[in-house]
Copies of this chain bind each other. A is one copy, B any other.
Amino acid sequence: METYDSETSYLRQLEARSVLPDGFQCAAREIRFSPSERRTQEPLRMNLSLIVLDKETPDFGAVFTRNKFPGAPVLIGRERLQRPTVRGVLVNNKISNVCTRNGYEDARGLLGRLGELLGTTEESFFIASTGIIGWELPVREMGESLPDLVSGLEPSSVLPVARAIMTTDAFPKVRRAAVGRGSIVGIAKGAGMIEPNMATLLCFLCTDLGVQRERLREDLAWCVERSLNRISIDGDQSTSDTALLLSSGRRGPADPAEFREGLLAVLAGLAFDIVRNGEGIGHVLRVEVGQARNESTALGVARAIANSPLVKTAIFGNDPNVGRIISAVGDYLGNAGEAVDNRRVTVRMGGEEIFSGGCFRLDAEKEERLSAYLRGRALDTKRIPWPQHDKTVDIEVTLDGSSPSVEVIGSDLSYDYVKENADYRS
C-alpha cells in the first residue's frame, strides 16, 4: 500500500487523486461566529463547503446513520432520496445541527438561499453537518457567506473540500479509482465517534461514470457495508453519519462489476485512512474472524475485540496481554448466548499462535517477539498531518464453525484519545 515521509509527499499524492470527475465543481470558505450556547472570547471558526453538479442528476444515492436522534441534515437527506433529481450538497463542520429548536427549518432555509443563487430550489440539495451535537447553526453568518461560496466554485480539485470538512482529523482523506473511461473520487472526514453502521461521519463520492439510480444505490449500500461499516474507533454511531454518491454520467456507462470494484476500493481506502487518522490513535488493529457459526457472529466477535477498552489499552502500551483478546471473545459469545467449543478456537497475533486446543500458547520468547511486533507497528499519536505508515496489528481468530472470514479495522486506546475527546469543544 502507500506510505509517505512528509506532508508534502502526501499532498502530492492527494492532489493527483483529487482531480474532480467531469461535471462537478466545488468550493470551500471559512466563516466566524459566536455561539449562543457558550460564552467565548473569540469567535469560533466554521468551514462551509459546496459540491455541485453542472446539471441535475437522477443518479444519486445516500446511506445514513441508524441513530434514533438523527440530525436535521439526515432527516432532510432521507426526503431527498425520493426526489427525481438533485444538484449537489452543502457541508459545514463545527456544529452538527442535531435536535435544535429550528434546526430543520434553518437547514432548509440555507438550501433555499443556495437554490436561488444556483437557479434552482432547495430541494435540489443535500446538506451535511458535523461537529458539536445540540448547538444551533449560525444561520445568519452561513447565509451571508453563500454568495461568496458559490462564486468560488471551480471544477479542478476536491482537495479544498476534503480539507474543509475536517474537524479533529489530522489530515485530509481522498481516494480515487479509475474505471473504464471515467473515475470515482471520494473524500471523507471522521475521527472519533466512528463505528460499524455508517462508520464515517461524512463521506462524499463523485463519479462521471453513468450508473442508473437503482443500481448505484445497491452498489453504494453493498460497498459501505464492506468498508465504512467494518471499522470501529470508539463504538459510537453518530447522529450525522452520511455517505453520498453523485453521478454526472458525463463519461458514459461503466462495466457494472468494474464500477462496484472501483467504488469498494475507494470506500475501503477511505475507511482505512479514517482509522489511521483517528483521534490520538497509536496502533491500527486488523481483526479477522473466520469459521464462526455464521457471519453475524463473526462480525460480532471481531467488533467485540476491536471495541474492548482492555484490549485497546494493552495494545497502546505495546503489551501483548493476549488473555484480554480471549476474554473479549468469551464475553461477546456469553452475552449473545452462543455456544462455542473452545478446543477448536485458534487465535493469532502477528502470525504467532497464542491460543489453540483450549489453551494459551505462551512463553517468554514469544512474549518478547509479540512486544517487539507491537512496538514496530506503533504510530506517533501526535498530530502528524500525513499517514505515518500502513502497518496494522493483525489479530486472527478462527472459531468452531464454517462461516467465511470477516475483517474489522479498529484502533488502540491512547492517552491522546482521551485528551482529544475530553477537550474536543474547547
Contacts and interface: CB of A to CB of B under 8 A. Distances in A.
A133 B38 contact: no
Contacts of A362: 37, 134-135
Contact of A327 (B236, B330, B359, B421): B236
Contacts of A68: 329-331, 333-334, 338-340, 342
Contacts of A333: 68
Interface stretch (A12-20, A96-104, A385-393): A96-104
A382 interface: no
Interface stretch (A81-89, A260-268, A314-322): A314-322
A86 to B, nearest CB: 25
Contacts of A36: 363-364
Interface string A300-344: 000000011110011011010111101111110111001110100
16 contacts: A36-B363, A36-B364, A37-B363, A68-B331, A134-B322, A134-B326, A135-B362, A237-B335, A238-B327, A316-B418, A317-B421, A319-B424, A321-B424, A415-B415, A417-B418, A418-B418
A197 B319 contact: no
A180 interface: no
Interface residues of A, number: 77
Contacts of A421: 309-310, 313-314, 317
Interface of A: 36-39, 65-70, 96, 98-101, 132-135, 192-193, 195, 197, 234-239, 307-310, 313-314, 316-317, 319, 321-324, 326-331, 333-335, 338-340, 342, 354-355, 358-360, 362-364, 367-368, 413-415, 417-419, 421-426
Nearest to A340: B68
Contact of A368 (B39, B310, B422, B426): B39
**In the complex, the 4 A-B pairs of residues with the closest C-beta atoms, listed nearest first:** A133-B323, A317-B422, A69-B330, A313-B421
A321 B37 contact: no
